[in-house]
């Protein structure tokens, strides 16, 4: 990722990072020989993505980002079981069960740096 930032700068490096993350998940899932890859995307994540796609004018991605199951035509389909669950509910659940957990630090970094997704989160 450092090499890519050196080549293209800070402006569009999120795209490359997302590709690398998805590729790492796909490779891990293939190594484990799983039937489906389950992600923790929740309703708030999907709302942010929808708004980002609309603001960018990327209407073609709207149907893909809102589906519960994606990639069914690929080697390992992905599903989002928390699609209809608010992030707040997900955070409250372990709190009431007295689990020790970490919150999503990257969200605070995004807001701190004033990046586009951070502005959407605040919106």
Where do the structural domains in the chain lie, given as residue ranges?
1-34, 35-122
Rounded to whole angstroms, the Cα distance separating 17 from 118 reads 16
> Bridge-partner residues for 37, per DSSP?
78
Residue with tokens 């997900």: 90
Contact between 114 and 42 (Cβ < 8 Å): no
- DSSP, collapsed to helix, strand or coil, labels residue 84 as coil
The per-residue pLDDT for range 50-98, each reduced to its tens digit, is 998 888 888 887 877 778 888 778 788 999 999 999 998 988 887 777 7
- pLDDT band at residue 101 under the 50/70/90 scheme: low
pLDDT at 121 over 90: no
Determine how many CB atoms are found less than 10 A away from the CB of residue 81: 13
């Amino acid at each position: 990722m450092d090499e890519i930032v050196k080549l293209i700068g800070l402006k569009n490096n999120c795209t490359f990072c997302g590709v690398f993350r998805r590729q790492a998940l796909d490779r891990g899932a293939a190594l484990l020989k799983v039937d489906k890859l389950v992600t923790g995307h929740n309703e708030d994540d999907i709302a942010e993505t929808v708004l980002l796609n609309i603001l960018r004018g990327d209407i073609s991605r709207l149907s893909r980002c809102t589906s519960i199951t994606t990639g069914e035509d690929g080697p390992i389909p992905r599903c989002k079981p928390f699609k209809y669950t608010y992030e707040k509910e997900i955070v409250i659940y372990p709190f009431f069960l007295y689990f020790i957990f970490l919150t999503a630090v990257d969200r605070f970094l995004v807001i701190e740096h004033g990046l586009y997704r951070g502005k959407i989160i605040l919106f």
